[in-house]
Structure 1
Amino acid sequence: MTTPSGDPTDHEYWRRPADLEPGQPAPRPAAPADPGADVPTYAGPPPTTPATTGWRPPTVVNPAAPRELPPQNQESIDADERGARTLTYGIAMVGGAVLLIVICLLCSRVLF
């Protein structure tokens, strides 16, 4: 939608028609004289031809069978996870202690 050019502060383009009161809704646009004359109809999608029986896309090379994954050492994985959890908890406790000290210092500056 475009607006007429000219003074940008002029709101004449957006004003309600003069014959309507402020609380009255705008009138609906007039319906066409012959409702079925200009209405396009949808004929549906174009017809398609089915593929021949047994059609498949061409196969160039058959892929190789997947390799077998190496076995996993569950005990070692569990030990590494325990160590990582301990390290994470340690870092969180040190960070919490530093944060607690900073909060205590800020509160002491406000109170004293």
Structure 2
Amino acid sequence: MTYDDQNADLWRRPDAGAEPGQTTPPGRVPPAGYAGPPPTDPPPAGWRPPTYVQPPPPRQLAPQDFDKVEAQEKEARTLTYGVALVAAAVMVVLSCLLCSRVLF
């Protein structure tokens, strides 16, 4: 390993009198501080396109029949439980068949 590389100064230890945490390589001037973001110019006065059409006001929603909604939810729950019971029964029958094949 050679240390006569042109970038070796960047990796050398700081001097004994240097401040702790100083990472500025020799020969470079450290920045004075954060000057803030660059200044921006405000947009011109007419930068938005003109608006000609006003949207219509929102419509009223249809009234809800809460009794009908509850009845439909009850029917859906019954159907879901029925499908789950049929699937469980099929799984029990299949597992019994597989276990009987292994045992006998």
TM-score bucket (shorter structure)? 0.5 to 0.7
Q: 2:28 aligns with which of 20, 35, 52?
A: 35
Aligned amino acid, residue 90 of structure 1: G
Choose between structure 1 and 2 for higher RCO, CA contacts under 8 A separated by at least 6 residues.
2
- Kindly tell me the number of residue pairs found equivalent between the two proteins: 84
Q: 2:55 aligns with which of 47, 54, 63?
A: 63
Shift of 1:50: 2.7
Give the structure-2-normalised TM-score.
0.63
Shift of 1:80: 0.5
Percent identity among equivalent residues? 48
Per the alignment, residue 81 of structure 2 pairs with: 89
CA RMSD in angstroms comes to: 3.3
- Unpaired segments ≥5 residues, structure 1: 1-16, 19-28
Give the structure-1-normalised TM-score.
0.59
